[in-house]
Amino acid sequence: MLDFFANPLLSARFASSIAEVAAAAFLRIGHFGAMLLFALLIATSFAALGQRKGLERLRYAIWSFALFILIGVGIAWLMYPFSR
Amino acid sequence: MNETPASEIIVPAVTEQVAAKPRPRPRRASFSFAGLGVAILSWAVPGLGHLVLGRWRRALAFFISVGGLAITGYLLRGNVFPQHATDAFGRLGFYADLGTGVFYYLAHFFERLGPDVSRALGDDGTRFIAAAGLVNVLSAFDAYEIAAGRRR
């Protein structure tokens, strides 16, 4: 075990295999999954940027996350007739 | 009957109040070197500036959101713009990507196979990385404002 951490080649190989497995997993999330993840991360940062505190901040994060999803799906439906 | 027109009626209490209260002069924002240092820290490692200021919750939120957006963008094989871009869009893309700080230099580690924008998800990845950079720049501004005492 100690050899593993001491040997930079072995640890680099391990790290690279983790990155490859993660990349393969992420390529299967699809558009909706990517949109959910994007909305979640941006809503978190918006809530952190605001001046709200505690529960109010959490409520704002949930509200902006829901709006991201609703508006995203709404725009997708609006563009649907022009997609073909 | 001698009535005073409405336009000539003066309410003394209100006028005295208005006269007594001087209008606050807009203060000139002074430059803060401490704020600049914290903003640079915040840009280099997302959330570090807030951590130095003792705002560990915000620090964690920025680290997770910027790191999550950047790493997801790399794993989706988004395009990372190089320093020597030939066109204006490429340069703008580079500045947006550079906003991620240390995560810009981790692109080679996470994006082993290089970018692939021929698939729609690869294109999404490009947006994820750019969004991470913009959020990190906003967090650096936020850290500056807190250090300068203009925000809580």
Phi-psi sector, A38: left (phi>0), alpha (psi -120 to 50), beta: alpha
User: What average pLDDT does range B110-129 have in this prediction?
Assistant: 87
- Give 10-residue mean pLDDT values along chain A (84 residues): 58 71 77 93 93 87 96 93 81
Return the minimum-mean-pLDDT range out of A3-17, A33-47, B117-131, B134-148: A3-17
Eight-state DSSP code of residue B114: -
Residue A39: predicted pLDDT: 96
Q: Check if the beta carbon of residue B66 is closer than 8 Å to that of residue B103.
A: yes
User: What average pLDDT does range B125-133 have in this prediction?
Assistant: 95
Q: Is the pLDDT of residue B143 over 90?
A: yes
Residues 84-143 in B contacting A (C-alpha not used; CB under 8 Å): 109-113, 120-121, 124, 127-128, 131, 135, 138-139, 142
Taking CA atoms, what residue in B is nearest to A51?
B152
User: What average pLDDT does range B64-75 have in this prediction?
Assistant: 94
Q: Is the pLDDT of residue B100 over 90?
A: yes
Between A23 and B5, the more confident residue is A23
Which residues of chain B have a CB within 8 Å of the CB of A44? 61, 64-65
Question: How far does B128 lie from chain A, in Å, by closest CA?
Answer: 7
Listed by start position, the domains of chain A span 2-82
CB atoms within 10 A of CB B73: 33
Task: Compare CB distances from A19 to B58, B112, B152 and report the shortest one's residue.
Answer: B112
Mutate to test the interface with A, among B71, B106, B124 (most CBs of A within 10 A): B124
Question: How far does B70 lie from chain A, in Å, by closest CA?
Answer: 11
Return the minimum-mean-pLDDT range out of A52-56, B29-33, B98-102, B136-140: B29-33
Which residues of chain A have a CB within 8 Å of the CB of B77? 23, 27
Residue A59: predicted pLDDT: 94
Q: Hey, are the CB atoms on A27 and B61 less than 8 Å from each other?
A: no
- Spatial separation of the C-alpha atoms in residues B126 and B78, rounded to whole Å: 4
Q: Is the pLDDT of residue B101 over 90?
A: yes
Residue B130: predicted pLDDT: 95
Give DSSP secondary structure letters for A24-50. HHHTTSHHHHHHHHHHHHHHHHHHHHS
ipTM over 0.90: no
Q: Specify burial of residue A43 (Cβ count, 10 A radius: 0-12, 13-18, 19+).
A: buried
Listed by start position, the domains of chain B span 32-147
- How far apart, in Å, are the Cα atoms of A66 and each of A31, A32, A71, B67? 17, 14, 9, 22
* Structure confidence at residue B8 as a pLDDT band (50, 70, 90): low
Return the minimum-mean-pLDDT range out of A42-46, A69-73, B27-31, B100-104: B27-31
